Structure 1
């Protein structure tokens, strides 16, 4: 499918890094670093890297791009509804994972894990079909999909097609201290990731740029550098919390839509975390049914900022603050307070 060879360097992790990443027991083939920034991805990404880089971008495409656990799901639902004339009936009846497929998801689920899920659902043809569809190559499915296509990805801009900004891109950033807490809970629940460590181990890998899609700050800086491009809208998770109506209006204008204050208020109510947490179409209920997550998964958790204080000790706070300061020294990127 790929028309050109993959132009970015691919290298294995250093042996000491690879050893640390074994705590992700679901990834059986290990991890690689991609490109000059050294983004960390599962080895299976090599099967799809060139197809993603060379995929045909349509001007009608809409991408939501984030580092994991930065408000992705919230933004996807918001963007989809704004673009689709507030069609709540479809939004409630069709899984968000179907309305807004996850571009690189097939790299996340190792063939050994797929086999395990298929064996566990033996005799249930519907479940077997869903597992195969969900873990297959999304780019091939997208090539056949009608426009407009809505696409979620955690890949940084440099690993996406060079002409990505022919399409609309909404990029969401979040304070890394809250990201790492939310990310830890997610990885602990996703059986295909198989996280076996504690929070401090997870945090240590995160600030060492040893997590899926890391380095965190390089990811953000790439998008921040493009924030004035007319086809990229850069927003912060903290803005979604502090002024959801204002962000809805910004996204609406970006998408060429205009909604009344009353319509915006109704959308805010739909997106309110108390309703969002109980909405089965966005909460990955499908993943639970197929065994891809633990039964207690809360895909949408608290939807607040500052929760990291319950997890960090003094040493972790000091080291994280130093890491943030070092990485933001040469940029005007700043995280707004949600308070």
Structure 2
């Protein structure tokens, strides 16, 4: 289907098609967070749950502002780490507020509501029926991002995993700042596998080899991975875009702090850089309840018994999940997808 309207808004430019019925049935068997089915969008066949159909035009027509800051990444590429860094830099190192208010409130997720299937939302409401505050929180995170961001008066910090082609055109028109972080797909695949098991809204129940087969075929949200990445890479010279590699961030975080600070027009002392680097050190970071999904776990959006939202942040941990056969498969897949680009991972 293609969108059009008579409201003076931009028509959504891409076809949205239901996934092949046989593949759809298989995925619904293994991903229990979606109950209706999946769609693929545009020539790259970007993959989303069914709710994307009704939301696509609203996302596309969202009005960005010049002072917005967007973190646009493929999932599990250092998104949360980058969000907290950016928020602190843009807010003059306000550690007190950063520790008091969860990152989900300070830096909300633009498209999260499309993953909150109505049936899953009702189950979460039922699970939290004894606590009005928790029920209210579920209602808040279920609200479309294009609605609550439009109502915000203060400066907006927006997290998204949309590729550039699915971002609102107003982001470029208004020259809102966009930070894109890329990460080696082997580490991304392992981290995203664990996240798909952790989130009830994803509800993956299979093993890693099966998940990898979906990953390389682009059959999980925001995929295909390399289509997403190449779009980000093609915008790396845009004046409003900062493109970074997760591996470089991990290798020299103080240098990353300086790079992001410069992009945001901020100047820091050596002492401020050192304090920020310590505050965001992965061991401190994963134990920080303001960023590790504590509020999501409390309302049972996160399943118990799975790896935490912030896992280990290490480079090369993919080796624990990939068998020699899968490594060979992944290496060939990467080589095939990188042959037509100058993009290379550090």
Aligned residues: 336
TM-score w.r.t. length of structure 1: 0.97
User: Who is 1:180 aligned against?
Assistant: 189
Cα displacement string for residues 12-38 of structure 1 (whole angstroms, at most 9, x for unaligned residues)? 112333133221112001110011111
Cα displacement string for residues 125-173 of structure 1 (whole angstroms, at most 9, x for unaligned residues)? 1111111111111111000112310000011010111232310000000
1:5 paired to 2:14: no
Equivalent-residue separation in structure 1 for 2:130 and 2:31 (angstroms): 29
Cα pair 1:60 1:147 within 8 Å, conserved: no
Cα displacement string for residues 157-214 of structure 1 (whole angstroms, at most 9, x for unaligned residues)? 1011123231000000000000011111111111121111111111110011111110
RMSD (CA atoms) = 1.2
1:279 paired to 2:285: no
Q: Which has the higher mean CA deviation after the structures are superposed, 19-28 or 54-63?
A: 19-28
Cα displacement string for residues 211-260 of structure 1 (whole angstroms, at most 9, x for unaligned residues)? 11100001010010110111000001101100101111010000010101
1:56 paired to 2:66: no
Equivalent-residue separation in structure 2 for 1:80 and 1:180 (angstroms): 27
Cα pair 1:227 1:233 within 8 Å, conserved: yes
Equivalent-residue separation in structure 2 for 1:270 and 1:30 (angstroms): 41
Q: Among 308, 314, 329, which residue is 2:324 paired with?
A: 314
TM-score w.r.t. length of structure 2: 0.95
User: Who is 2:340 aligned against?
Assistant: 330
Unaligned runs of 5+ in 2: 1-6
User: Who is 1:215 aligned against?
Assistant: 224
Deviation at 1:5, TM superposition (A): 2.8
Cα pair 2:62 2:170 within 8 Å, conserved: no
Q: Secondary structure at the match of 1:68?
A: coil
Q: Among 10, 21, 28, which residue is 2:27 paired with?
A: 21
Equivalent-residue separation in structure 1 for 2:146 and 2:198 (angstroms): 26
Q: Secondary structure at the match of 1:56?
A: coil
User: Who is 2:110 aligned against?
Assistant: 103
Equivalent-residue separation in structure 2 for 1:126 and 1:16 (angstroms): 41
Cα displacement string for residues 80-125 of structure 1 (whole angstroms, at most 9, x for unaligned residues)? 1011101100110001000000000001110001001111111311
Equivalent-residue separation in structure 2 for 1:152 and 1:184 (angstroms): 20
Runs of 4+ in 1 over 2 A off after TM superposition: 1-5
Equivalent-residue separation in structure 2 for 1:267 and 1:256 (angstroms): 17
Cα distance change of structure 1 residues 89 and 2 upon mapping to structure 2, 3 Å threshold: farther
Equivalent-residue separation in structure 1 for 2:297 and 2:244 (angstroms): 30
Equivalent-residue separation in structure 2 for 1:146 and 1:79 (angstroms): 19
Equivalent-residue separation in structure 2 for 1:78 and 1:143 (angstroms): 24
